[in-house]
Amino acid sequence: MIHCGNIIIAEDAKRLAVAGAELFRRHARRSIERSGRFAAAISGGSTPRSMHRLLARHPYVTEISWERVHLFWVDERLVSADDPASNYGAAKMDFLNAVSIPADQVHPMTSEKSPPEAAADYRRKLETCIGGGADRLPRFDLVFLGIGPDGHTASVFPQDPTAEATDLPVVAVKGGNPNVFRLTLSMPVLNRAACAVFIVSGAGKAQIVKNLLAGEASQLPAARVLPVSGRLIWLLDRDAADTLLNFSHFSSL
């Protein structure tokens, strides 16, 4: 494992998943000690699934105080929970059915309503569960984010200002792959998090990771995840960090 500032590089995807699960456990323990609860938001896509599956196993399934965890989503495709594209459906399969988190502390974004109504419902859910409101955005203890090769994160897509030029914590958008209606946490609420973690795996992400960390992609959404009073951690596997490691500016890694 290479640690350099806020960049952590795991040898491979398996060790990346372990590092992610350890981060989840550490932040859960710290938040629960401090405030009695842990409010986390997870992303969809394929990268975090190995980490999620680890959370369903020892030591995480027993050592995390799941009864104190409030789980939210960073984004969701507005499909039914049994649709293979559902981020909630994947998480349910990967760990939610195995851990002892109270059902009323699992907050999926799934909805049968229209996208704008679904977004309004989730905003109310956030306000009820972790605070925030008309003039204050909710603050997550930890958000896990993926990055697409195009530099999107959550469902904040390049050339779509919906989720950035807003003071709302949740908005409805359409885009991505699959190109469907989605809900996403907005950039302002991502940047209000106490800790945001990019978890990135695979050679297919190596170029975008290098461009972002070398400051060569400032116009892309992932480059604008800059927690105002929180931490940003880059959790990469060696394949995703490959171009970075060969970039002179980071040769010290």
Residue ranges binding ligand 6PG (CB under 6 A)? 43-47, 74-75, 87, 146-148, 152-155, 176
By the 8 A CB rule, do 226 and 232 touch? Answer: yes
- Least Å distance, CB 77 to ligand 6PG, is 6
- Least Å distance, CB 248 to ligand 6PG, is 27
- Least Å distance, CB 129 to ligand 6PG, is 20
> Using CA atoms, how far apart are residues 41 and 252, in angstroms rounded to an integer?
32
Nearer to ligand 6PG, 68 or 109 (CB): 109
Nearer to ligand 6PG, 60 or 198 (CB): 198
User: What are residue 240's DSSP bridge partners?
Assistant: none
- Closest of 44, 45, 108, 115 to residue 78, by C-alpha: 115
Query: Could you tell me the strand order of the sheet in which 195-200 lies?
Result: 2-4, 7-10, 231-237, 195-200, 142-145, 38-42, 69-73, 106-107
- Least Å distance, CB 89 to ligand 6PG, is 12
- Least Å distance, CB 237 to ligand 6PG, is 12
Nearer to ligand 6PG, 42 or 101 (CB): 42
Nearer to ligand 6PG, 99 or 183 (CB): 183
> Using CA atoms, how far apart are residues 146 and 45, in angstroms rounded to an integer?
7
Tokens describing residue 168: 């709302």
Nearer to ligand 6PG, 64 or 208 (CB): 208
